[in-house]
Amino acid sequence: MTARWGSGIMISKDLVLTAACNVYNNEKPIRKRYPYLRFVSAAAKDEAPFEEIEIDDIYAPESYVARKREKDVENESNEVDIDDNNYALLVLKKPIGTQTGYFGVCAVADPKILVERDIYIAGYPEFRLQEEEHKENENARQFEQWQQEGKITEYDEKKGLIHYQLDIPAVAGGLIGSGIFCKQGKNQYYVVGVHVGTNGNSNKACLITKEKFGQLYKWVERRNEEIFEAAIQGKDDRCSIKRLNLSECNLNSEPRMVKKFLEYKGLEEISFGSGCMPEKLIKELNENSKWGNLQTLELTSNKIEKEFIQVLGSNTSWKNLKVLILSRNDLKEGVIDEIVKLNNFPTLEEIDLSDCEFGNEGAVALSKNTSWTNLKALDLTGNDITEEGGAALGKNLAWSDLMCLRLRRNRIGSQGALAIANNPTWKNLRMLDIELARIDDKAAAAIGANTTWTHLEELILRCNDIGSRGASVIGSNVTCKRLTVLDLSRNEIGDDGAAAIGANTSWAYLEELNLSSNRIGKKGAIVISSNSTWNNLKVFNLSINAISDEGGAAIGMNVSWGNLEQLRLSDCSLGDKSAHAIGSNSTWRNLKVLDLSINAIGDTGGASIGNNTSWERLEQLLLRSNELGNRSAAALARNAAWSNLEELNLRLTSISDEGWAEIGRNTSWKKLRFLEGDLGGTQLGWKSAITIGRNSAWRHAEKITIYEFQSAKNERKSARRALFGKNSKLNFVEL
């Protein structure tokens, strides 16, 4: 199918007003919607700053779709209907209007007052290019947004159309669907019509009358109702609604919805996220709802006041409530004190108070709670808690069932971490997250020396001040035998700390180990690579450590990690020796992600990677910023084992146009979604860009990104002209 375009205008954060003929074909007796539609905002030639946006829904007059009006008139091309019902409303999946801005819509009571008014039109008229460079392609087209000023000359009351003139005649095709707008006051513009066609020198637009404005409003209202109904995510055999997500609903404007969901007796989970909870609604919910089975209440990003929590605390019907989510609320001035008093939910197991900014005062208040005896999970992420608050929390003795504690992005420091490490009550702890908390070696050693956390499964200590001593104590821990995740990334544990971690033989269930950015060298990498206990290891990240070619080769020769799925060794000073060892590894048959970016791997090593036939599940291969050449490209391109490959990054390599052409001819990577390379110089040229763009095997490709250097302008122009309308996924980024 030949690619075509039309214009439209944003009238809300996610609504586009356009001509119906842009989204429906001209079939008889019933018009059908085009199967593939996308919205591209503010496109200019071959640049799309906001990329393509999917369309969630389309509304158009039934009279247009079903051809109920016999007065429809077609223009000379038999493609466009000059009809006052030729308008449509597009609902976007992404609210791009929050970035681009949008216009208002004006319903004109008396259209005659518009005659002789100045109007504006902006859209994408279709011009044929006549320049010398386009003689070989008569159909070359320019894709550029134009804005013109004109004047309304006539209102055709019988046909419901306004006639207007422009300085430059509007060309049929791309301009269809453009908004006709007027200026009112300073920097205020309102859409009054939609351009639907041209006859001779006269341009015609569908006028937004009161009736059409009312139809647009009804479509928006129907859309809100559809969102509400779609929020009903789960039902049992008797159609009892169990789960509601009302985050996108405007409950202030939909009182019928409120009355409706208050009757859902079987409701177990409800979300009022993204500020959709009206202040007056909590009292009505508390008094009139029939949610005796409610288990989860989410109130993320709402204006939670002290009175709100007091009303919640008086509730006597939600006795089964287990999860209370209050994240991203500004809980200050006594609000936390009221939360601490909540003792009317005897089954409460999980509380999310992340990003509420209540500081030490709130943390101290929480630490004094003695009523949440069934509490299993507490999330206090990002609350500006320092050592005082952390120490107070660590002294709580009431939460004996606590399994998950998140304190990331709080400056609890050594004092707070020591109190937590020495808490005698939390024997059931399974997950401890203290990322970015200013924990030093002493506190890390205390955590590593804990002997009561026999059920601990996840320990997150990322972005702290932990050195070799703290890591060594953690590595010698024999209590946490159920540990599955250990994250010590972005610390300074060094070779000695890494060697201690690598020597651990108690963590037989370890699945994920992250030691990136830790000043680890060859010695630490070799000890880790020799660990034969971690047979369940799935994710290993050692990036941003100078482990050298020898350390990388040692890792590549590991034969114990048969379940490995992700290996990340970017920026590790690796060379061909490492790449050869890794590429020759036949043990890692479950490998899905391999990141070897920012190393010194040459053509020989790249070819070794490309020749691997064991990684049949490989999905992501990242080789950017290496010294790969055409030999590597040929080996990669001819690899038929990687049928599951979804992403390939070969940016900043030495692969030339010839090598890229080889890659462009690959037919095995049928699941490829993302490809990145460079255009210009000795790298990818316009010929190989065309080969890549025309590859029909990569039908799942979402984005092919070619980064171009200043010297590549001619290559880009040739490639884009040849590819226009054939591969809309191809994206050029100028450096």
- pLDDT tens-digit readout, 547-583: 999 999 999 999 999 999 999 999 999 999 999 999 9
Q: Do 552 and 574 meet the contact criterion of CB atoms below 8 Å apart?
A: yes
- What is the per-residue pLDDT for 131? 42
Going by their DSSP bridges, the two strands 647-649 and 620-622 should be labelled as parallel
CA atoms within 13 Å, Cβ hemisphere of 726: 15
CA neighbor of 626 nearest in space, from 602, 645, 605, 646: 602
Q: Cβ neighbours of residue 153 under 8 Å, at least 6 residues apart? A: 115, 116, 163, 164, 165, 202
> How far is residue 260 CA from its own chain's centroid?
32
Percentage with pLDDT > 90 across the chain: 51
Q: What whole-number distance in Å separates Cα of residue 690 and Cα of residue 287?
A: 66
> What would the pLDDT profile of 606-615 be if each residue is shown by its tens digit?
999 999 999 9
Task: Return the pLDDT at 340.
Answer: 93
The predicted structure's pLDDT at residue 683: 58
**pLDDT for res 88:** 94
Position 435 scores a pLDDT of 96
DSSP 3-state assignment of 198?
A: strand
Which token pair is 439? 């924990």
Grouping H, G, I as helix, E, B as strand and the rest as coil, residue 729 is coil
Angle between helices 306-313 and 281-288 (to 10 degrees): 0
Span 203-256, pLDDT tens digits: 888 989 888 999 999 998 888 777 766 655 444 443 457 887 877 666 666 666
DSSP state of 178: P
What pLDDT sits at residue 129? Answer: 37
The first and second tokens of residue 346, run together, are 């005897």
Token pair, residue 625, equals 């910023």
Give pLDDT, residue 73: 44
Q: What is the pLDDT at residue 427? A: 96
pLDDT at 633: 94
pTM above 0.85, yes or no: no
pLDDT of residue 311: 87
pLDDT means per 10 residues, the chain with 735 residues, are 76 92 88 89 75 90 80 42 84 88 85 80 64 43 73 84 74 75 80 86 86 90 74 47 75 66 80 71 74 90 85 88 94 87 92 95 95 96 96 96 97 96 96 96 95 97 97 96 98 97 97 98 97 97 98 97 98 97 97 98 97 97 96 95 95 89 91 80 62 77 64 51 42 45
In the three-class reduction of DSSP (H, G, I as helix; E, B as strand; rest coil), residue 152 is classed as strand
Quick one: which of 718, 566, 721 has its CA closest to 657?
A: 718
- What are φ and ψ of residue 321, in 5° steps? -60, 125
Query: How many Cα atoms within 13 Å fall on the side-chain side of residue 699?
Result: 2
Angle between helices 603-610 and 630-637 (to 10 degrees): 0
Task: Count how many residues are written for the chain.
Answer: 735
Structure-block tokens of residue 253: 């404007």
Domains and CATH numbers, the chain: 8-212 (2.40.10.10)
The CA–CA distances, whole Å, from 375 to 271, 343, 433, 464 equal 21, 12, 17, 28
